[in-house]
Amino acid sequence: MKIAFVGDVHGCVRHALGAAVLLQERRGIRLDAVIQVGDLGAYPSPERFDGASRRFARDNPAQDDFFRLLDPSPRFAEGVRGALGQVGPMLFVSGNHEDHDWLAGLHEAAGADVVPVDPGGACRHVACGSVLALAGQRVAFLGLIEVAGKMDLDERAYTRLMGLEPGDVDVLVTHDGPYGMSRDWRGNVQGSAKLSRLIEHLQPWLHVSGHYHHVNGPRRYGRTTSYALHQLVRPKASRWDPASVNPEQRVTAGSVGLLDTDAGDFTYVHDDWLADVRGDALDLAGLVAATR
Ligand SMILES: [Fe+2]
């Protein structure tokens, strides 16, 4: 069976669904699940954006696509329906850039660990600490990042996962990554020591994360192999990394990963066609129709 993993989306939901549809079509495979590693950019309205999300969306219009998903035009809804029909819903865990209160309210209202966030049910949020059976794998989810304050790892969820036995989980999906995986441009060490301890305790055979917006892995932690995904659509311009500009808003190589559960094999997707998923206003319905 096959699971596609998608890096930080930051609102570009049409790019995410389009990449999953093309991955399935170009590789001639059937995806059994699509998992997004957080920073989907799930806010109920632009007024609820945090400061960084507001700044980036101003310069990158595709990052407003999440709001179009919540209140779609007929053409937008047709694209979402078509993608959903081909690849199924995209499950996502919390990143640090989501409206956490809004998501918590959806779970509370539904009384469920997995809740659709949009009217079409294309994106479904998975509560931190959940373990789901997907494509024959026991997949554990822990969102957010290790930092003091509102974005900090959910302590109850963390304790719950630490209470499982080693080997109870096959795949661990987190937003933050293991401690020491990389350094930022100032030289600060990146990653979470708590997540490192969780990986060492659970010993899943696979760990997949996002947050740092670059490819990182494979890294070995005991019997676990860990991978971090690139941001799905890099910004049009970057103050920190001028080489990393993306004026045409193309999907980035290494922002999608493919797990073949039978082969026990995870690979980054670097195929040229990824760059065909692009634009400020991607025509998802057109992309889906072209793959039929
Ligand atoms: Fe992010």
Per residue in 50-86, pLDDT (tens digit) is: 999 999 999 999 999 999 999 999 999 999 999 999 9
Mean pLDDT computed over every residue of the chain: 97
266 CA from centroid of ligand 1 (Å): 21
- Asked whether the predicted pLDDT for residue 242 surpasses 90, the reply is no
214 CA from centroid of ligand 1 (Å): 10
Question: Which region holds residue 10: left if phi is over 0, alpha if psi is between -120 and 50, else beta?
Answer: left
Mean pLDDT within 277-291: 98
Task: Return the structure tokens found at 111.
Answer: 């009384």
Query: Is there a contact between 141 and 173 (Cβ–Cβ < 8 Å)?
Result: yes
Burial class of 277 by CB neighbour count within 10 A (0 to 12, 13 to 18, 19+): buried
- Asked whether the predicted pLDDT for residue 185 surpasses 90, the reply is no
210 CA from centroid of ligand 1 (Å): 7
Domain residue extents for the chain = 2-290
70 CA from centroid of ligand 1 (Å): 20
In terms of Cα–Cα distance, which of 287, 289, 290 is closest to 17? 287
Q: What is the CATH number of domain 2-290?
A: 3.60.21.10
3-class secondary structure, 288:
helix
Strand-pair partners of 224: 221
118 CA from centroid of ligand 1 (Å): 20
292 CA from centroid of ligand 1 (Å): 32
38 CA from centroid of ligand 1 (Å): 7
H-helix or E-strand spanning residue 27: helix 13-27
172 CA from centroid of ligand 1 (Å): 18
290 CA from centroid of ligand 1 (Å): 30
- Asked whether the predicted pLDDT for residue 150 surpasses 90, the reply is no
- Predicted local confidence at residue 84, as pLDDT: 98
Mean pLDDT within 248-256: 97
- Asked whether the predicted pLDDT for residue 220 surpasses 90, the reply is yes
39 CA from centroid of ligand 1 (Å): 5
152 CA from centroid of ligand 1 (Å): 15
Tokens 């305790």 -> residue: 201
Percentage of the chain lying above the pLDDT 70 cut:
100
Strands (E), the chain: 2-6, 33-36, 90-92, 114-116, 123-126, 131-134, 137-142, 171-174, 182-183, 189-190, 206-209, 216-221, 224-228, 256-260, 265-268
Question: Is the model's pTM score more than 0.85?
Answer: yes
